[in-house]
Amino acid sequence: MGPRSGGSGRRECDGWSSCRGDWSIQQIAKLAGTTSRTLRHYGELGLLPPSRVGANGYRYYDGQSLVRLQRILLLRGLGLGLPQIGEILERETDERRALEAHLEWLRSERDRIARQIDAVTGTIRGLEGEEALVAEKMFDGFDHTQYKDEVEAKWGEDAYAQGDRWWRGMSEAERAAWKERAARLGADWIAAAESGVDPAADEAQDLARRHVEWLTGIPGTPAAHPGGDVKGYVIGLGEMYVADERFARNYGGADGAAFVRDALRIYAEANL
């Protein structure tokens, strides 16, 4: 069955590659809650070129353009500037993986906000005398220091203090971008593990390299200091990913975590 379309620009087809229809710039602006001027600006910057330009000069966009626009709007929602968004779109060309990573980040934010809603709701009920105020519940979802004792026990007070200063010194946009980067890396690990890639294969080793580069950007960890035991730290983290189900969940479960552990060990022994 071929694609069907109506005046609204709606298309029905098996996938973007088989969808021959397109949408006008006015239709897309209305659907996305933005303006034609904004879409033209995105096009001028190379972020969202039209899929075709009609004889009358009107711009039209196909399904793949809609996917790209969704990514742009999601990244804008994180507070990223257009130059940063352009760099991300150019670097992360696998749109499905990029969206899966962003989805994972959105889900974690949804869970955090849900905990905040419950906490504030409980406070309001307490103020109205409907229930007792419980201090332990009032700040659920607010504080990133919940693992303070655990970090200090494993890597020392200075490690936590440096990481805490680094995190608090970030802007909201920088924090959001860092979280998305972490989620993207996790999604790529999961995809590689599920596809049956060998931990020693180039794809897995490239992921391990990215993982170590990501770790070196976190102050307070041995990976961030030239004189630290980076090799031991990376190998130890891999073991912890498998032993601690909280970390294993980030990589799709125990099997995924084992894949990450093995790939990190191979990389560390060869390069660190």
- Per-residue pLDDT at 146: 46
- Per-residue pLDDT at 136: 52
What are the tens digits of pLDDT across the range 224-271?
A: 666 666 787 788 778 878 877 777 777 888 888 899 999 999 999 999
Tokens describing residue 176: 């959001």
**Looking at per-residue confidence, does 147 or 141 come out higher?**
141
Tell me the C-alpha to C-alpha distance, in Å, between residue 131 and each of 115, 137, 251.
18, 12, 39
Mean pLDDT check: name the lowest of 10-19, 66-75, 221-230, 258-267: 10-19
Asked whether residue 133 carries a pLDDT value surpassing 60, the answer given is no
Average pLDDT score over residue span 127-144: 58
- Per-residue pLDDT at 220: 62
- Per-residue pLDDT at 47: 93
Q: State residue 227 phi and psi, 5-degree precision.
A: -90, 0
- Per-residue pLDDT at 262: 93
> CB count, 10 Å around CB of 63?
20
Name the residue with tokens 């409907």. Answer: 130
Average pLDDT score over residue span 29-53: 90
- Per-residue pLDDT at 227: 60
**pLDDT > 90: percent of the chain:** 17
Asked whether residue 204 carries a pLDDT value surpassing 70, the answer given is yes
Average pLDDT score over residue span 126-145: 58
- Per-residue pLDDT at 201: 94
- Per-residue pLDDT at 65: 92
- Per-residue pLDDT at 141: 54
Q: Which amino acid is at 170?
A: M
Average pLDDT score over residue span 12-31: 68
Q: State residue 53 phi and psi, 5-degree precision.
A: -120, 125
Q: How far is CA 85 from the centre of its chain?
A: 13
Asked whether residue 19 carries a pLDDT value surpassing 50, the answer given is no
- Per-residue pLDDT at 182: 80
Residue 134: pLDDT band with limits 50, 70, 90: low
Q: Across-strand partners of 61? A: 23
Mean pLDDT check: name the lowest of 59-63, 117-121, 218-222: 218-222
For 148, half-sphere exposure in the C-beta direction (CA atoms, 13 angstrom radius) is 9
Asked whether residue 5 carries a pLDDT value surpassing 60, the answer given is no
Contact 230, 236 (CB under 8 A): no
Asked whether residue 40 carries a pLDDT value surpassing 60, the answer given is yes
